[in-house]
Structure 1
Amino acid sequence: MSMIWKSTTAIFLFVFLVSGNIIGQELLSVKKSEFIDNVPDRRSEFAQVKEAGDLYQKGIGYVAQSLNLFLNAHKLNNYNPELNYNIGVCYLIAGPKEEALSYLLAAQTEDAEISADIHFLIGLAYKYQNNFSDAIIHFKMNKEVIQQKKYKEHQELLPISDKHIQECRNGRDLLENSIDINLKLVEGNVNSEFDEFNPQIIDSSLFFSSRRGVEKDSRSPEDQKFFEKLFKSSTNNLSIKEVNKEINNWSENVNSTLLAKFDKEHFVFYSSDSGLGDLFFAEKVKGKWQLGKAIKFINEKDSRESSASLPLSGDEIYFVSNRKGGFGDCDIYYCKKDLHSKWSKPINIGGDINTEFDEGDVFVSADGSKLFFSSKGHNSMGGYDIFQSDRLQDGSWGSPQNMGFPINSATNDITYSEDENGNFYFASERSGGKGGFDIYCNKQPEPVVKEEVVAEVEEPEIPAELIPEVKIDVPLSLPLANLNSETVVLPETPVKQELVEEDFVYRVQIAASRKEMNPNDLFSRYKGGDVIDHLFVENWHKYTIGGFLTFKEAAQYRDACGVKDAFVVLFKGGYRLGIARRPFEAN
């Protein structure tokens, strides 16, 4: 027996970009006849299904539009499994990511064989709801399906699933030990339905980058989102002002952002128009911004330098680069200024902070004592998490600490910065914002208002003879507790917590038939007294016994049950994953 999984013309490839979204994911083909299903009103809506698929193919910047068209079609046919699947994929890319779950579950309910990656996608959706335990279940089920069915074209999902499983375990630990911090969206017009990120407080103004735009604006060829633009907002004024229009020699067809104040006159900009990127100086000349020279002691010809930060002392600069020789794709580097104001060559900050995964968005505090950065490594709970490292007495950096909930989430959390008073800002893809990445800050506690102290007045005691006697009748039917009864202590049964929690069960299959077996034939095959479960799946009647928590227990029963060709199968609830020829790995 072989299970046939539906797919489109291409193999499913998952590429995790800087944003952490899934890109290159193929949608499923929605057949016109199955969508209309003899309902005339659905004919006009099917055109939107086709248009949605065409928009999706144009790039990530169009996925939100594609999603809206799919949702319109869903109003007339909410049972079509391919349509539900496509809506789930679009939500995972365009957000809100947690909204994907109900549609992916609906797709699987209507067609259990909808796709080979359905459990992987459901795992992602559970993860984005902070339901880490159920997410682990489906990532493990995804691995088991691929391994049992030997899907060679989906082998790349195995290590990715392992990474997500570890992130979910990190998430459970961090959620249980969340920190007491109140967050809020930055007020005013700073956030929008588009991406906002890289907040920086400079000279009492909040500078930030946004990928907002209108249809006529230029888009980046990399993802078809609008090019980044730089804005600023006064901390005392909720309005915003586009800075790009103030800058001379500035191209609109370029991704760029303000990163840090370099000294009294100069600032550091990141700019990219070719997929790579370099760091530049900028300064105000006669009240107008002037984009200056590239920072030669940092930039390399064939690498991308995408983030930079300096302490107030100005004697060192930290930056992120994907140059060769690092621990991962993007690492954190630094340069130091000597006594003659000459900058050193870039130095990798080291393997205690850099990992085999991406690091980014570096920020050093004004006094140089704290280093903040985003990373997909260490004990991240999903995508990029924000980490803090403290300066040690010898000048080196201590072990990075995950900043935990609520600063970090199961989505991407990036571009952390602080002002000199310790107020912090960062960008996050989490739900509850206006769309895409939004900028959050710490909510300052309300001022404590001292309550007026009122002197207590001693009330005069009422003589007992003046208090009326009140008689309360208790109905005879009211059950009364036995106060002398002993407390009953239930014995605890030791179990393997993760297996119970994730609901994996081994059973022994003793028979399978295209036609339902009658009891005489079934009991002549198996002469034991255990309950036989009957399951009809894949057009086969399958008969199994038991519910074992370990493969070893199931294998022992298989060998002793008296059925020579019995074998062990793995179930998750009522879902049969397949034959288990070896122990299922709990890790």
Structure 2
Amino acid sequence: MIWKFTSIVFLFVLLLSGNLTGQELLSVKKSGFIENESSRKQAYAFVKEAVALYEKGIGYAPHSLNLFLRAHKLNDNNPELNYNIGVCYLIAGPKEEALNYLLSAQSVNPDISADIHFLIGLAYKYQNNFTKAIVHFKMNKELIEQNNYKEQKELLPISDKHIQECRNGRLLLGNSTEIELQPIEGHVNSEFDEFNPQFLDTCLFFSSRRGLENDNRSLDDQKFFEKLFKSYKGENRWNEIQEEKHDLGDNVNFTLFSKFDDKQFVFYSSNSGAGDLFLAEKVKDKWKIGNAIKFINEKDSRESSASIPQSGDEIYFVSNRKGGFGECDIYYCKKESETKWSKPMNIGGDINTEYDEGDVFVSADGTKLFFSSKGHNTMGGYDIFTCDRQENGVWGKPQNLGYPINSSDNDITYSEDRDGVFYFASERSGGKGGFDIYCQKIPEPVVEEIKEEPVINIPVTIPVVSAKSDSIAKTPERQELIEEDFVYRVQIAAARKVMEPKDIFNRYKGGEVIDHLFVEGWHRYTIGEFSTFKEAAKYRDSCGVKDAFVVLFKGGYRLGLARRPFEGN
């Protein structure tokens, strides 16, 4: 993945992170929403306006969300409205806020949509509740397979990916580092996306998709075009930001990546082909774009996210050119003379994966490589990884930077300032909105005042803590297995009104306990609890009810008809 943050790239991010690209909202019927209450007519107007804005593109999802929430104040029990609010929260954030609305929609109508458990799984994942997230991702898979939802088949491998990320997340969360983070101070972050922090001496450059209402928007997602800003470090925080001017025009994404030599810098521009790397220099407070970097760029591919160590004898970059391991891979070139560079070489399959590698940063001394990836043992979308250069010059095995640097959401564009303090962008909750830039929190120096005080001998009891790491590590797995038990039951009757005991007895004269469940206006009566479809089907055929059938339940949820045995994984 190329973190130049054009609209197309952001759509890919949504697709791979939660498959919300093109996510359709549910129709909110006027008759069911108003229900003869005139006070809700204005609320329904908000619903219609919200849907119209949402259909323009994800850039309008925050506006849609605000309108849906205004309607929700007047009718908070409509399942379709709650579903739509949940979808908008998953896109616009804060993503963990989606959970209550999705659960509310599902409780009123368990069959509200084929993807409801997938969305609930995402919401649990963004709350770091990985075990419950796994359960719902598996429930989503079971619904798709049992009911043969052809349009939802694409969610099967994506659900598997999320399940593995949740398992990785449990391990990484349990082994979190003591590093402290903080959002970058000052006015750098906004309600829009900020990312790609880069440092030139004492100046911070970063990219942002902020804009005013009348500014130009991308046709792909209706977000504002990416712009380059800078800020200087004050005494305690970054000063007021300034937009950087360039000679490319307005409707173009323009990103600073690395210093190339004493005068020139490496930039990305979407104004050329699929996106290329260019050299640029500052001329009278305006960036002047120079020549394309010919030894890197290819005609039909997109190149970006370049980084050069202080020595200047290597350049690392990301490209989606043919022949890689995944959609986008990391490549590098070596300087062979003052004017000649080697041909691009793939950094190899130990670092590149079948998934996307998103951006790359090499330390000033050239001994450490940092990159974003959806592969390896990521815990959520893109994680940041690092590897050390070995004595023979080969890069070692990538290591996940762990929690709290990585989160259950996308974490990207790692960089360091000249003092070695690191910065990166994250889509996690708790920021101002979208992607925000975070940095390493440097502890304040502690000055201890020495005082002479009387010595008091107090007996201290030190508790002995036995090593329980193995049992603690296994607990989530056991809990997951407990929560993932599927139960097959035999449904013997369904009616719009509650059935009398004598009517039920006329249908079923066996000895099994009859469970009564009211779902979507139907009173459903089931018997038995079987661990396999085969056992349930055998009892169905012998229970004496000709039109009985097998139904699958999970954690109290009625998932639907079971037409064949579920082969769990």
- Per-residue deviation at 1:273? 3.3
Q: Which residue of 1 aligns with 2:410?
A: 412
**Alpha-carbon distance in structure 2 between the residues aligned to 1:170 and 1:206:** 33
- Per-residue deviation at 1:17? 4.4
Q: Which residue of 1 aligns with 2:231?
A: 233
Which of 281, 303, 310 does residue 312 from structure 1 map onto? 310
The range that moved more, 336-345 or 65-74, is 336-345
- 1:543 partnered with 2:526: yes
Larger Rg: 1
1:304-383 paired onto structure 2 within 5 Å: 304-339=302-337, 341-383=339-381
The range that moved more, 222-231 or 429-438, is 222-231
Instruction: Please state whether the residue corresponding to 1:192 is helix, strand or coil.
Output: coil
Distance 1:449 1:585, change over 3 A: farther
1:30-45 paired onto structure 2 within 5 Å: 30-45=28-43
Aligned letter for 2:132?
D
Instruction: Please state whether the residue corresponding to 1:23 is helix, strand or coil.
Output: coil
Q: Deviations over 1:444-474 (max 9, x none)?
A: 0121212304153689xxxxxxxxxxxxxxx
**Alpha-carbon distance in structure 2 between the residues aligned to 1:91 and 1:222:** 20
Q: Deviations over 1:161-188 (max 9, x none)?
A: 1111111111111111111111001000
Aligned letter for 2:202?
S
Q: Which residue of 2 aligns with 1:512?
A: 493
- 1:577 partnered with 2:559: yes
Which of 375, 386, 389 does residue 388 from structure 1 map onto? 386
**Alpha-carbon distance in structure 1 between the residues aligned to 2:500 and 2:33:** 37
- Per-residue deviation at 1:218? 1.2
Q: Which residue of 2 aligns with 1:472?
A: none
- Per-residue deviation at 1:569? 4.1
Distance 1:274 1:498, change over 3 A: farther
Q: Deviations over 1:12-34 (max 9, x none)?
A: xx965488462211111112222
2:329–2:356 Cα contact (<8 Å) kept:
yes
Q: Which residue of 2 aligns with 1:65?
A: 63
- 1:114 partnered with 2:112: yes
Q: Which residue of 1 aligns with 2:535?
A: 555
- 1:452 partnered with 2:450: yes
Q: Deviations over 1:325-353 (max 9, x none)?
A: 11111111111111455201111111111
Q: Which residue of 2 aligns with 1:216?
A: 214
**Alpha-carbon distance in structure 1 between the residues aligned to 2:76 and 2:564:** 40
**Alpha-carbon distance in structure 2 between the residues aligned to 1:242 and 1:90:** 31
Q: Deviations over 1:474-507 (max 9, x none)?
A: xxxxxxxxxxxxxxxxxxxx99825544242424
Instruction: Please state whether the residue corresponding to 1:58 is helix, strand or coil.
Output: coil
**Alpha-carbon distance in structure 1 between the residues aligned to 2:12 and 2:338:** 46
1:499–1:586 Cα contact (<8 Å) kept:
no
Q: Deviations over 1:223-279 (max 9, x none)?
A: 21111111111122532333422x3x2312111111111122111111113772111
Q: Which residue of 1 aligns with 2:186?
A: 188
Q: Deviations over 1:562-585 (max 9, x none)?
A: 637887643222212234566645
2:110–2:558 Cα contact (<8 Å) kept:
no
2:109–2:519 Cα contact (<8 Å) kept:
no
Q: Which runs of 5+ in 1 are unaligned?
A: 1-13, 460-493
**Alpha-carbon distance in structure 2 between the residues aligned to 1:458 and 1:380:** 51
2:273–2:299 Cα contact (<8 Å) kept:
no
2:28–2:80 Cα contact (<8 Å) kept:
yes
**Alpha-carbon distance in structure 2 between the residues aligned to 1:146 and 1:505:** 15
List structure 1 segments (4+ residues) > 6 angstroms apart after TM superposition.
564-567
- Per-residue deviation at 1:197? 0.3
Distance 1:583 1:64, change over 3 A: same
Aligned letter for 1:110?
V
The range that moved more, 267-276 or 207-216, is 267-276
Instruction: Please state whether the residue corresponding to 1:416 is helix, strand or coil.
Output: strand
Which of 125, 143, 146 does residue 145 from structure 1 map onto? 143
Aligned letter for 1:551?
T
2:244–2:286 Cα contact (<8 Å) kept:
no
Distance 1:523 1:531, change over 3 A: farther
**Alpha-carbon distance in structure 2 between the residues aligned to 1:495 and 1:408:** 20
**Alpha-carbon distance in structure 1 between the residues aligned to 2:104 and 2:494:** 29
Task: Number of aligned residue pairs: give it.
Answer: 534
Q: Which residue of 1 aligns with 2:470?
A: none
Aligned letter for 1:509?
V
Aligned letter for 1:563?
C
The range that moved more, 504-513 or 158-167, is 504-513
**Alpha-carbon distance in structure 2 between the residues aligned to 1:291 and 1:313:** 24
Percentage of pairs with the same residue? 66
- 1:244 partnered with 2:225: no
Distance 1:524 1:445, change over 3 A: same
Distance 1:191 1:301, change over 3 A: same
Instruction: Please state whether the residue corresponding to 1:119 is helix, strand or coil.
Output: helix
- 1:89 partnered with 2:71: no
Distance 1:241 1:557, change over 3 A: closer
1:260–1:268 Cα contact (<8 Å) kept:
yes
**Alpha-carbon distance in structure 2 between the residues aligned to 1:317 and 1:221:** 33
- 1:273 partnered with 2:254: no
Q: Deviations over 1:179-225 (max 9, x none)?
A: 11110010000001111000012111111111111012111222211
**Alpha-carbon distance in structure 1 between the residues aligned to 2:16 and 2:210:** 16
Greater RCO (Cα-Cα under 8 Å, separation 6 or more): 2
**Alpha-carbon distance in structure 2 between the residues aligned to 1:411 and 1:496:** 22
Q: Which residue of 2 aligns with 1:401?
A: 399
The range that moved more, 516-525 or 225-234, is 516-525
- Per-residue deviation at 1:300? 1.0
Distance 1:356 1:458, change over 3 A: closer
**Alpha-carbon distance in structure 1 between the residues aligned to 2:553 and 2:128:** 24
**Alpha-carbon distance in structure 1 between the residues aligned to 2:249 and 2:540:** 76
2:195–2:437 Cα contact (<8 Å) kept:
yes
Q: Which residue of 2 aligns with 1:5?
A: none
**Alpha-carbon distance in structure 2 between the residues aligned to 1:44 and 1:226:** 30
**Alpha-carbon distance in structure 1 between the residues aligned to 2:523 and 2:272:** 56
- Per-residue deviation at 1:46? 2.0
1:429–1:438 Cα contact (<8 Å) kept:
yes
Instruction: Please state whether the residue corresponding to 2:161 is helix, strand or coil.
Output: helix
**Alpha-carbon distance in structure 1 between the residues aligned to 2:123 and 2:372:** 22
Distance 1:585 1:411, change over 3 A: farther
TM-score between both structures, scaled by the size of structure 2: 0.87
- 1:502 partnered with 2:483: yes
Distance 1:275 1:300, change over 3 A: closer
- Per-residue deviation at 1:524? 9.2
1:462-473 paired onto structure 2 within 5 Å: none
**Alpha-carbon distance in structure 1 between the residues aligned to 2:289 and 2:306:** 16
**Alpha-carbon distance in structure 1 between the residues aligned to 2:55 and 2:92:** 14
Q: Which runs of 5+ in 2 are unaligned?
A: 1-10, 458-474
Q: Which residue of 2 aligns with 1:465?
A: none
**Alpha-carbon distance in structure 2 between the residues aligned to 1:244 and 1:458:** 63
1:183–1:442 Cα contact (<8 Å) kept:
yes
Q: Which residue of 1 aligns with 2:436?
A: 438
Q: Which residue of 2 aligns with 1:74?
A: 72
Q: Which residue of 2 aligns with 1:474?
A: none
- Per-residue deviation at 1:419? 2.1
**Alpha-carbon distance in structure 2 between the residues aligned to 1:274 and 1:67:** 35
Which of 294, 307, 311 does residue 292 from structure 2 map onto? 294
2:16–2:158 Cα contact (<8 Å) kept:
no
Aligned letter for 2:88?
C
